[in-house]
Amino acid sequence: MSGSEKTDVTIIGAGLTGLTLAFYLKRAGCKVTLVEQSERTGGVIGTRSEAGFVYETGPNTGVLANPEIVELFEDLGGSCELEKARQYANSRWIWKEGNWHALPGGLLQAINTPLFTLKDKFRILGEPFRKKGNDPFETVAELVIRRLGTSYLNYAVDPFISGIYAGDPSRLVTRYALPKLYQLEQQYGSFIRGAILKQFKAKDKRDKKATREVFSVKGGLQNLTGALGRSVGEEHILTGCEGVIIKPFERGFITEIRGRSISLSSDRVVITTGGLALTGLLPFLSRENLAPVSELRYAGIVQVAAGFHNWNGISPDAFGGLIPSRENRKVLGILFPSSLFAGRASGNSRLFSVFLGGTRNPEIINKSDDEIINMVVDEVRETMRTTSAMPDLVRVFRYTHAIPQYERSSAERLACIKELENRYPGLILAGNIRDGIGIADRVKQARMIVNLIAP
């Protein structure tokens, strides 16, 4: 492609959101063009095969949290295969005082676990009878302490938040970061009562698709983005696009790709790249106009893939292990991919994904590979009780702006997005700056946008 082209929708960013959006818009009869800065599609999703291990360089798993993610696999028609996690995914470990303990999966387990104090176990029993909160900006930490107690925050919610947001529950606002939990209290007045009542609530056939099971894709998550890219068609995808700027023009927009001397005119532009890129993409808007979105705070993450042949430590029969911040260890948690999915390791080999950094340890991302590997080896040795000297495979991946933090500023950010979209009809700001950060969230958002703009 070169020169000037006309398209119905220009999509900036060929990650999961952009690819899913293009896939469904094309099915709806729209002419779409995907514009991607890097030389490959898929965004942070990537899968590699090396030394007998199949590992992810970005996200490792998703959750079947809504019908849209299930329908995406159905609509791809077998070009990639959904893989549900083994039963080990139902077990999550929490580190406390030198040992792993299973995170309780029900009321009886919560009463018997050593993770919570006796006082808070009684508080859990009384949770259905407490008044619901009325502060729309209540943080996750404030909510949990109010309803369940401090030990529940320290040894259940804090590590859970580390596993999702790599963030601080005292800064994340429940209404934005965990909207389903917020609505559970607002609608039912109680987490426990709400969870019980929802079990008996009738679901239609479509809603039943959202099983909340952990999933990946046969052969790795990159097979999903690859299947989407093939379905969209390479003729609709431009990679290696430098110097991209967007300008309002008459009743639409002009997208200039200066590095390739390409100009795209379209009625609509959807930006899925996140907040940090907006000031460069939208030069007609001032930094002040964009600040609530472009200055969104992100958690930096280091992910280390560590594979061991002839594993001799604790059998990793779980989803993974999370480290509460009060335990003052160097890692956020360890995921066990080879326990969850077939083909990630063979025989007695074991594959781990180790996560470090986050908002509480931002300095780790700037350490050398050797320093990070030494940290990971020490942590795996101690927490997983292995005597292995070094992993047989170890690879380090850094993401400086990995996970947006849905803090109190989210109200201003969402208001800014709405105002800009109203002021410039046809401009849509999407991606993980709103509507959630998980894989299922990205797919659902793409479907929502298609329903909004497709003919």
Strand partners, 264: 5, 255
Number of C-beta neighbours around residue 394 at 10 A: 19
Which tens digits make up the pLDDT trace of 215-253? 999 999 999 999 999 999 999 999 999 999 999 998 899
Do both 236 and 265 map to the same domain? Answer: yes
In 3D, which of 355, 382, 389, 388 has the Cα closest to residue 100?
Answer: 382
Contact 337, 351 (CB under 8 A): yes
Copy the structure tokens of residue 134: 């009325």
With residue 123 as reference, give the H or E element that holds it. helix 118-126
User: Rounded to an integer, what distance in angstroms lies between the CA atom of residue 213 and that of residue 294?
Assistant: 33
Report the pLDDT value the prediction gives residue 3, as an integer from 0 to 100: 74
Domain encompassing residue 320: 298-404
Contact 419, 290 (CB under 8 A): no
Kindly report each contact of residues 363-370 with a partner whose C-beta sits within 8 Å and lies 24 or more positions away, as own/partner.
364/302, 364/330, 365/300, 365/301, 365/302, 365/398, 365/400, 369/396
Contact 306, 80 (CB under 8 A): no
Do both 411 and 430 map to the same domain? Answer: yes
Establish if 104 belongs to a structural domain.
Answer: no
Residues 6+ apart with CB under 8 A from 394: 304, 305, 306, 307, 373, 376, 377
Establish if 58 belongs to a structural domain.
Answer: no
Cα angle value 75/76/77 (rounded, 5°): 85
Do both 284 and 356 map to the same domain? Answer: no
Do both 394 and 318 map to the same domain? Answer: yes
Residue 287: give its domain's CATH number.
3.50.50.60
Contact 245, 263 (CB under 8 A): no
Q: Cα–Cα distances in Å, from 109 out to 121, 127, 215, 423?
A: 10, 16, 25, 52
Do both 284 and 263 map to the same domain? Answer: yes
Residues 6+ apart with CB under 8 A from 413: 275, 292, 293, 296, 433, 434
Domain end marker among 146, 170, 202: 202
Do both 160 and 171 map to the same domain? Answer: yes
Residues of the chain short of pLDDT 70, as ranges, are: 1-2
Copy the structure tokens of residue 114: 């050593």
Establish if 51 belongs to a structural domain.
Answer: no
Copy the structure tokens of residue 231: 């379905």
Q: Does the CA dihedral 363-364-367-371 come out positive or negative?
A: positive
Residue 367: give its domain's CATH number.
3.90.660.20
Q: How many helices (H) and strands (E) does the chain have?
A: 17, 19
Residues 6+ apart with CB under 8 A from 410: 173, 176
Establish if 449 belongs to a structural domain.
Answer: yes
Establish if 236 belongs to a structural domain.
Answer: yes
Establish if 347 belongs to a structural domain.
Answer: yes
In 3D, which of 52, 88, 23, 94 has the Cα closest to residue 322?
Answer: 94
Q: DSSP states of 299-343 as a string?
A: EEEEEEEEEESS--S----SSEEE--GGG--S-SEEE-HHHHSTT
Do both 317 and 197 map to the same domain? Answer: no
- Sort residue 268 into left (φ over 0), alpha (ψ -120 to 50) or beta: beta
User: Rounded to an integer, what distance in angstroms lies between the CA atom of residue 396 and that of residue 384?
Assistant: 20
Report the pLDDT value the prediction gives residue 173, as an integer from 0 to 100: 98
Beta-sheet strand order (sheet of 82-84): 62-63, 214-217, 82-84
The number of folded domains in the chain is: 3
Contact 17, 430 (CB under 8 A): yes
Classify residue 315 by burial, with Cβ atoms within 10 Å: 0-12, 13-18, 19+: exposed
Report the pLDDT value the prediction gives residue 2, as an integer from 0 to 100: 60
Do both 271 and 123 map to the same domain? Answer: no
Residue 161: give its domain's CATH number.
1.10.3110.10
Do both 166 and 232 map to the same domain? Answer: no
Phi, psi of 44 (to 5 degrees): -80, -10
Establish if 195 belongs to a structural domain.
Answer: yes
Which tens digits make up the pLDDT trace of 188-214? 999 989 988 888 888 899 999 999 999
Contact 343, 281 (CB under 8 A): no
Establish if 150 belongs to a structural domain.
Answer: yes
